[in-house]
């Protein structure tokens, strides 16, 4: 069994994440790949304040899912623009090119998981 209390999760700033704008605050929810049974490289919570984005990037031999927890997002994947709100889930599959940005005046909070192909 694994339990991680909120008080033990330390936010880490990532400047210009994947070439994006501003500073993404990242919280590692699992210590990957060990705590993901070797099946993934990330299980994190990201907070993006207004004006902050994660730049366009391609997943090779892995897929990424994102669940919007709060706030609103503009997600661009393979040239298609999507407007996301709390509860929405996206999956970038191997070879997909995508990026995400906070849309609006409140912070965007999302959970991201990256699994190996």
Note the pLDDT tens digit of each residue in 5-35.
Answer: 999 999 999 999 999 999 999 999 999 999 9
Q: What is the pLDDT of residues 42-94, one digit of tens each?
A: 999 999 999 999 999 999 999 999 999 999 999 999 999 999 999 999 999 99
Contact partners, residue 105, CB within 8 Å, separation at least 6: 50
Give the separation between CA 12 and CA 24, rounded to whole angstroms: 8
Element spanning 84, H or E: strand 80-84
Reading the block at residue 46, the tokens are 């990201």
Under CATH, to which class is 12-82+91-116 assigned? mainly beta
To which residue do tokens 């990424």 refer?
A: 64
Give the pTM. 0.94
Give the separation between CA 110 and CA 7, rounded to whole angstroms: 19
């Amino acid at each position: 069994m694994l339990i991680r209390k909120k008080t033990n999760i330390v936010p880490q700033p990532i400047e210009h994440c994947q070439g994006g704008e501003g500073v993404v605050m990242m919280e590692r929810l699992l210590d990957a790949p060990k705590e993901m049974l070797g099946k993934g490289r990330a299980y994190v919570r990201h907070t993006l304040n207004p004006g902050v984005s994660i730049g366009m990037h391609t997943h090779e031999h892995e897929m990424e899912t994102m669940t919007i927890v709060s706030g609103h997002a503009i997600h661009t994947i393979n040239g298609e623009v999507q407007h996301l709100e709390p509860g929405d889930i996206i999956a970038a599959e191997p070879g997909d090119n995508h990026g995400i940005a906070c849309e609006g005046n409140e912070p965007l909070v999302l959970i991201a998981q990256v699994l190996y192909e």
